[in-house]
Amino acid sequence: MKIAVAGTGYVGLVTGVCLASKGHHVTCVDVNEEKIELLKQGKSPIYEADLEELMAAHKERLIYTTDYKEAYSDAEVIFIGVGTPEKSDGSANLNYVYAVAKEIAYAVQRDCVVAVKSTVPIGTNDKVESLIRGHLRQPVLIDVVSNPEFLAQGSAVRDTLQASRIVIGADSGRALEIMKAVYKDFEAPIVTADRNSAEMIKYASNDFLAVKISYVNEIANLCEIVGADIKKVTEGMGLDPRIGNRFLNAGIGYGGSCFPKDTRALHWLANMNDYELKIVKAAIEVNEQQKLKLVKQLRRNIDTLAGRTIAVLGLTFKPGTDDLREAPSLVNIPLLLEDGAVIHAYDPVSCQAFADYLEKYQIPGRETIVYCQTPKAALTDADACLILTEWPQIKSLTGQDYIKSMRTPLVFDGRNCYDPVQFRNAGIAYYPIGYGL
């Protein structure tokens, strides 16, 4: 089929490339000329496993352009995969979605289906369809469907090609059959629903996982108080098939482009309808506090941070991605700088992006940060260490690496990378999440 995809971020680009790998002819559209030029050279603007390889393998069925008129004019299906960033009140900014909808209305020359992949509030698909039909330049039939994505950064290609489910929210039988044809070579169960239900499936899924993470972090914090072992607790929990073992890793909270934004958006939507999602609200509050856990522990163990060298291992919100959005590093490092600490930072992919962020927002003390090429270099002569991301390069360090490199082997591990018994027996003051001392 001839398909167009609006947006070349995580959702749009991964969707387009994966559809091309299934034999469709895909045109990826973006207003950012630099990104399009990069894509034409076979380079991905995002750090994502297997994506560039898939782009190269199916380049004969992929076109990258800024010309939306050419892309949309005769497409059979147009996917909207642009961003829906958060507004200051917690609601989703739908300006980019609506802008694409108008472009589609101006450009289409044939009957087609518009599939909204962007995460949008319930009822948005109805508005998109009304907007397109109200601005059409040609007498064509346009149906809008909700087709939310369920990909995770770092495994986005796998999550798309080996999806747990494909959700299609359609109020038209014709549109539903076309969407089924798009996905005919995907081996995943298809869930069909009305558009509002499909939109809610996305939010309900993400918010449930966020709640699960915050719940485990609460249990981990209590484990520290009562002397329990969170890994043993979650092992016992995870064997219950009603609970499952995924998203039971205690740490310093969730981040990224989805969970923080989607929990706040659904909470906002409920409030706008005079209803409060108390569990989601609690998950948001717990997560914000959890991000500060290591700094609080550090301050309790060192009388003053002024002039002290603090190693920070990991800047991205999770390994396998270069995404800094809602990462704990964005909260913790400014606090450390405010306390007068000297930062030795390490991340395998995002040091420059982090430096650019600090420069953009004029974070005081940013000029004192030393960006290191290896974890051991960051640890050299450090008075303490904060582990914020569980990159393999960090998990592969041994207790002796910390002892030999650091001035004081004081380690606050926000991702539980090591065996606490081994590290403490080696003479390291080791503070993971969820272990009583």
Dihedral sign, CA of 401, 405, 410, 414?
A: negative
Residue 4 · residue 76 · CB < 8 Å: no
Comparing CA positions, the residue from 143, 121, 5 lying closest to residue 61 is: 5
Q: Return the beta strands (E) in 22-123 as ranges.
A: 25-29, 62-65, 77-80, 112-116
Which helix (H) or strand (E) covers residue 424, if one does? Answer: helix 420-425
CA distance 287 to 211: 9
For 270, the token pair is 């409920």
Which amino acid is present at 24?
H
Q: Which contiguous run of DSSP H or E holds residue 124?
A: helix 124-135
DSSP 8-state assignment for residue 368: G
- pTM > 0.75: yes or no: yes
Instruction: Give catalytic residue positions.
Output: 258
Query: Among 207, 363, 229, which residue's Cα sits nearest to residue 277?
Result: 207
* Residues written for the chain: 437
Q: Please, what is the end-to-end C-alpha distance for the chain in angstroms?
A: 60
Report the alpha-carbon distance of residue 149 to residue 11 in Å, rounded. 7
Instruction: Compute the distance between CA of residue 376 and CA of residue 397 in angstroms, rounded to an integer.
Output: 8
What the chain holds in terms of domains, given with CATH numbers, is 2-193 (3.40.50.720), 202-289 (1.10.1040.10), 291-431 (3.40.50.720)
- Give the C-alpha distances (Å, rounded to integers) separating 78 from 45, 110, 117, 274, 318: 22, 12, 10, 35, 31
Which residue's entry shows tokens 């558009």? 195
Instruction: Note the pLDDT of residue 436.
Output: 79
Residues 6 or more apart whose Cβ sits within 8 Å of residue 177: none
Grouping H, G, I as helix, E, B as strand and the rest as coil, residue 275 is coil
Residue-wise pLDDT tens for the chain (437 aa)?
Answer: 999 999 999 999 999 999 999 999 999 999 999 999 999 999 999 999 999 999 999 999 999 999 999 999 999 999 999 999 999 999 999 999 999 999 999 999 999 999 999 999 999 999 999 999 999 999 999 999 999 999 999 999 999 999 999 999 999 999 999 999 999 999 999 999 999 999 999 999 999 999 999 999 999 999 999 999 999 999 999 999 999 999 999 999 999 999 999 999 999 999 999 999 999 999 999 999 999 999 999 999 999 999 999 999 999 999 999 999 999 999 999 999 999 999 999 999 999 999 999 999 999 999 999 999 999 999 999 999 999 999 999 999 999 999 999 999 999 999 999 999 999 999 999 999 999 76
Cα 381 to Cα 307, 309, 433: the distances in Å are: 12, 7, 24
Distance CA 27, CA 17 (A): 9
CA dihedral sign of residues 277, 279, 280, 285: positive
Which helix (H) or strand (E) segment holds residue 5: the answer is strand 2-6
Task: Report the pLDDT value the prediction gives residue 76, as an integer from 0 to 100.
Answer: 98
